[in-house]
Amino acid sequence: MRAATLLALVLAAGCLAAQPPAEPRYFAPRAPPAGDTEPARAADGPLLRLRRVRAASYLRDRMVWRRGVEMGFHDLLRWTESPARFAESWLEDELFERRGFRRAESPAAVTLDASLDAFDELLAPTHEAEVALDIVLSDPKQGTLLDRTIEVRRPIASDDPSAVADALGAALAEAAAQVGAAVSEALGTRSP
């Protein structure tokens, strides 16, 4: 009896060892499409300082799902960079490449602070991607010029993680465009 039990344990261990461990999969949302027109570059464009985008503490490298008030993380689905870095990169592109603002480093310049509060896959009631950006535009002389939360949702076409990444990318691109329009309006500049 002992020999049979030992043989069963050895065979079970061999079956378990034969399967390699699951590997994480990495995703990046697609970058926003290039505009049809030449980027707005003006030597006299308004100076703007974009501070580092912060993110909610749960937004790290693992993809997040949400169902109502319940949140969780996909164990093996990861971002290639932090969601805050994606948001910062796309805001830079929108503001400095598409809208023609000039980069400023001086604390005396008009400053945009942004915080990424959601970069989530919503599972219910509908399958959607949600991006939420809190933005504050301030002028050292005039105070707060703009204080707004921009929330964008996009449907997710399937349960494939690539579809989730694509929908979050589309939502982030739309949120960045809305930030660009709001900043342009607050500073009284022409929108492209």
The string of pLDDT tens digits covering residues 137-170 is: 999 999 999 999 999 999 999 999 999 999 999 9
The set of residues, in sequence order, having a beta carbon less than 8 Å from that of 133 and lying 6+ positions away, is 87, 114, 115, 116, 117, 149, 150, 151, 175, 179
Q: What DSSP string runs through 15-43? A: HHHHSPPPPPEEE-PPPPPPPSS-----T
**Which pLDDT belongs to residue 20?**
79
**Which pLDDT belongs to residue 12?**
57
pTM over 0.75: yes
DSSP state of 140: T
Q: How far is CA 39 from the centre of its chain?
A: 23
**Which pLDDT belongs to residue 21?**
81
In order of 94, 171, 178, the CA distances from 41 in angstroms are: 12, 25, 19
Q: Which of 116, 107, 58 is CA-nearest to residue 88?
A: 116
**Which pLDDT belongs to residue 24?**
94
**Which pLDDT belongs to residue 131?**
98
**Which pLDDT belongs to residue 9?**
58
**Which pLDDT belongs to residue 124?**
92
Q: How far apart are CA 45 and CA 41, in angstroms?
A: 7
Domains and CATH numbers, the chain: 25-186 (3.40.50.10610)
- 10-residue stretch averages of pLDDT, the chain, 192 residues long: 60 60 91 59 82 96 95 96 97 95 94 98 96 97 96 96 97 97 88 50
The set of residues, in sequence order, having a beta carbon less than 8 Å from that of 167 and lying 6+ positions away, is 128, 129, 154, 155, 156, 157
**Which pLDDT belongs to residue 188?**
86
Burial class of residue 152 (count of CB atoms within 10 Å of its CB; 0-12, 13-18, 19+): buried
**Which pLDDT belongs to residue 19?**
73
